[in-house]
Structure 1
Amino acid sequence: MATGSASQDPRPVLIVTGLVQEAKIAAGPGMTVICSSSDPAQLRALLAGFDPTTIRGVISFGVAGGLDPQLKSGAVIVATEVMAGERCWQACETLSEELIAGAGIGQKVFRGGLAGVEKVVTGQVGKAALRSGTGAAAVDMESHIAAGYAAAAGLPFAALRVVSDPAHRALPELATTAIKPNGDIDLAKVMRGIARNPLVIRALVSTGRDFNRALRSLRDCRSFFLGETSLVSAEV
C-alpha cells in the first residue's frame, strides 16, 4: 500500500475488525485499528466518534462466512463491492489493487462482492438465500458499516476478508453467542453450553478448525499492508 498519492499521505489507514484476534493481526505502524466485538451497534458508535480527517482510507479486515460454494476456509477475498439491503458501495479499485499487487511471494486472491448483515448467518439455508439474492462471495458484519462510513467521509474504501466457515458449514449457535463485549471468547459460556449439549462438540471442533485456518491465512495477509507480499488475482 505504498503506491500513488497515498504514499505521500502520512495519515494512517483505519482498519475495521470484528474480533480481537483480527485486530491483533492488523495492528502495526501506519494503521489505526478498531474492533466492534461483532456488534454492529458498537461499531457504529465507535465510528460516530472517530475523526475521518485523521485517516487516509478505510479497510475492512477479518474473517467472513463463505457464500460461494467454491470457496474453502482460508480463501482470501478482496471485495469488488459491499451490499446490504438496497445499498451497494463500490470498493476503491486503486486501494484494492494495492492490496493485491504488493511485491513478494504469490498467493491467490478472489475478487467478489461482500454481503453485510446485522446478525450472524449460521445455517446453510440462510447462506444459500443470501448468495442467491446478492451474488456475494462472502458475508460479514462490519464491511457494510465501514463502507458507509468511508463513503460519507469521502474516503477510499477496500475490504480484505478470509473465509472462515465455508458455504456448506452450519455454525453452531454457541460459536456465535460466546463472545464477550471486548471481543474475547467466553470460555466459561462455551463450557456451560457443552455441558448442556455434549453433541455440539463435533460442530465446535469443525468450526474451530475452520476459524484457525482462516486466522493463519489472515496473518499472511497482514504483510500485504506493508508491501511485502503479492497476491495473484482470481475472479469469483
Structure 2
Amino acid sequence: MTILVATGLERERHLLAGPDLEIIAGGGDHERLEVRLEQLGAGKSGLISIGIAGGLAPDLVVGQWVVATAVLDRPHSISTDVAWTERLVAALPGATRAPLLGSNEMIVERTHKAALHRATGAAAVDMESHIAARVAQRLGLPFAAARVVCDPAHRSLPRAAQVGMRPDGGMDIAAVLRSLLADPRQLPALIRTGWEAEKAFRALLRGHRLLGRGLAGPDLG
C-alpha cells in the first residue's frame, strides 16, 4: 500500500522521497493540488500533509515540529487520525501537538500571524494541509499532518522571499533577484530567511528518517 503525500516545494518533495510514498508539491496552486490529490487518492492507504510551515504560536522556534490534532479549513475543522498522530508525536522529538491552519495565501506579516493565532488557536500555518484534509475526508482516507516551523511568529518575510516559489513548487531565482535589485535593503532579512529555511529543511530530513518507511502511516508501520 502507498501513502499519498502533500507538500509545498520541490525541495521538500525530494527530501521526503522514499518507497511507498507518492508525493505532490503544491507550489501554492491550491486548485491544482486538490485536483491532483483527488486523482491519485484512490487505493491509497492514507494521506499526509508534511513539510515546512509558518509559525503562529509565539513560543515555537525554527526547526520545531507541529503535529496536527486538527486542520482548520475555515470555517471548518477537520480532525486528524488519532493513531497516526500519536505515532508521529512519539517519533519526532520535541513535537508540539496542536491545530494547524490552512491558507490559500502565504501569511507573511508578523502582525497577521499574531491575529490568526488569537482568532484560531492554530500553532502554525501552511498552504497544503487544508487541501489535503479536505480530499482525505471526501475519499475516506486516514489523514495526518506534520509541519516544521520555518519562519517564526515574530518574523515577517521579505518581499524577495515571497516571490521565490514557482507554481510547480520550484524556486524562481530570477524573481528573487529582481526583487532584491529593486530594494537591496531586503538583503539582511533575505539572508536570515534563507538560514532559517535551511534549518527547517534539515529538521524535515531528520524527521523523515526518524519516521521511516511510509511516514508512520496506516498499514506501513
TM-score (norm 2): 0.93
Q: Where does residue 75 of structure 2 map in the other structure?
A: 86
Q: Where does residue 151 of structure 2 map in the other structure?
A: 165
Within a 5 Å distance, the mapping from 1:72-83 to structure 2 comes to 72-83=61-72
CA distance in 2, matches of 1:121, 1:55: 31
Q: Displacement of 1:79 after TM fit?
A: 0.6
* Shift >4 Å, 4+ stretches: none
Cα-Cα RMSD: 1.8
Q: Where does residue 219 of structure 2 map in the other structure?
A: none
Tell me the alpha carbon deviations over residues 143-201 of structure 1, each in whole angstroms, 9 at most, x when there is no partner: 01100111111111000100000000001122122222321211112111111110011
The amino acid across from 2:56 in the alignment is: L
Matched, 1:194 2:184: no
- SS of the residue aligned with 1:101? helix
- SS of the residue aligned with 1:112? strand
Q: Where does residue 15 of structure 1 map in the other structure?
A: 5
Q: Of 121, 131, 141, which aligns to 1:145?
A: 131
The amino acid across from 2:141 in the alignment is: L
CA distance in 2, matches of 1:182, 1:86: 28
CA distance in 1, matches of 2:28, 2:153: 20
Q: Displacement of 1:225 after TM fit?
A: 3.2
Q: Where does residue 54 of structure 1 map in the other structure?
A: 43
Tell me the alpha carbon deviations over residues 50-72 of structure 1, each in whole angstroms, 9 at most, x when there is no partner: 2x332100110100000000001
The amino acid across from 2:171 in the alignment is: I
Q: Displacement of 1:223 after TM fit?
A: 1.8
- SS of the residue aligned with 2:60? coil
- SS of the residue aligned with 2:194? helix
The amino acid across from 1:200 in the alignment is: Q
CA distance in 2, matches of 1:79, 1:85: 15
The amino acid across from 2:38 in the alignment is: A
The amino acid across from 1:135 in the alignment is: G
Q: Where does residue 27 of structure 2 map in the other structure?
A: 37
TM-score (norm 1): 0.87
CA contact (8 A) 1:25 1:219 kept: yes
CA contact (8 A) 1:99 1:224 kept: no
Tell me the alpha carbon deviations over residues 88-120 of structure 1, each in whole angstroms, 9 at most, x when there is no partner: 001111111222334xxx721110110111100
The amino acid across from 1:153 in the alignment is: L
- SS of the residue aligned with 2:42? helix
CA contact (8 A) 1:100 1:224 kept: no
Matched, 1:109 2:98: no
Q: Displacement of 1:20 after TM fit?
A: 0.6
Tell me the alpha carbon deviations over residues 109-144 of structure 1, each in whole angstroms, 9 at most, x when there is no partner: 110110111100110111011101100000001001
Tell me the alpha carbon deviations over residues 17-57 of structure 1, each in whole angstroms, 9 at most, x when there is no partner: 1111111111101111111112212211212322x332100
Structure 1 unaligned spans of 5+: 1-10, 231-236
Matched, 1:63 2:49: no
The amino acid across from 2:54 in the alignment is: G
Q: Where does residue 234 of structure 1 map in the other structure?
A: none
Identity within the alignment, %: 39
Specify the structure having the higher radius of gyration (Cα).
Answer: 1
